[in-house]
Amino acid sequence: MSLRPLIIDTDPGGDDAQAIMLLAASGMFNIRAICAVHGNVGLEYTRRNALYLKETAGLTCPVCQGASEALIARQPRAAYAHGNNGLSGLEFEVNEDKISRKHPWDVIYDEALHWGGELEIFAIGPLTNIAITLLRHPDLPNYIKQFTIMGGAATKGNSGAYGEFNIAQDPHALKICLSAGFKKFVMVDLDSCRTAFLTDEEAEYLDNLPMSNPWKPLYDKFAMAQRERRLLMTEEQRQKMGFPKGRGGCDAASAFVLAHPESAVLEDYFCLCETRSTLNFGQTIFDWRGRFREKPNVTLARSIDRDAYAAWYLEMLHSYDGGIES
């Protein structure tokens, strides 16, 4: 089976780290580049994190840095959830001279042309890099087989009253993406991600990863941060806010949908993004009843097979137990 050419656009983030780890371990993708963007924390951190994650996963693709700010406006960042450096305070050394001098908008378009319509884009942060690429190269969708994002919320948001974080970081970028004309635009939203999680028992099993697993230092930091956040609210409060019962990870869930769409319920809808109202800035609005009479522009994940997701997550993470081959 030939590998699927893929570009990952990301703002690492513990969630993003898990997604990169899973996709690299899956053996399904030819990861052509990792493009860093502002988001969970500033670009000065996300670019370093992307380089660290690439090396930890044993990848050879370039890492490039893109937009440091939203096109027009954004909600506050998320250091409160991911730590000041985005990776829960994990200390590491990387050589930033290894970061490519090419911009994501050039890398994405060049790769799209090279692969002649087979390239896929997986965006798990604000969509600023993708929007800039579309503004510079409006014909990009003609050369993209599938555009998959973690973003949006059909019901409860997690940024402002209704917005989902990735989208609220640059809703104008999503607006550009929605009208671009991608042949297949898969949106794995916050609600569907909440259906995919590890139970407490599964999560505790991973707390004892062997020291040979290169993800252990980061996983331990991430797990500790999640446990600390859970202590800040009651289970009733968590359920009211829509948190899963176990240990979640939206970008990891989105990676699973990318790799195994047969294990998700996917439905086509027309989607709009609110960019003006301060009350629902970044809200994704779905035309559930077809009232707008517009052609669907997204394929929305409505739910994910939790058991299949958990089994895949555990298998992929443990595939690193013997370390990374040089």
Q: What is the pTM of this model?
A: 0.94
Position 97 scores a pLDDT of: 96
CA distance 83 to 230: 15
23: tokens are: 């996709």
Using an 8 Å Cβ cutoff, are 8 and 31 in contact?
A: yes
Q: Give the SS3 label for residue 305.
A: coil
Kindly report, residue by residue over 114-170, the tens digit of the pLDDT.
999 999 999 999 999 999 999 999 999 999 999 999 999 999 889 888 899 999 999
Residues with pLDDT less than 50, the chain: none
64: tokens are: 């490039």
**What's 93's DSSP letter?**
-
Position 81 scores a pLDDT of: 81
Burial readout 38-47 (b: 16 or more C-beta within 10 A, e: otherwise): bbbbbbebbb
CA distance 269 to 68: 31
What domains, with CATH codes, occur in the chain? 4-318 (3.90.245.10)
**β pairing state of 185-188 and 298-304:** parallel
Q: Which amino acid is at 184?
A: K
CA distance 4 to 308: 21
Phi and psi for 274 in degrees, rounded to 5?
-80, 125
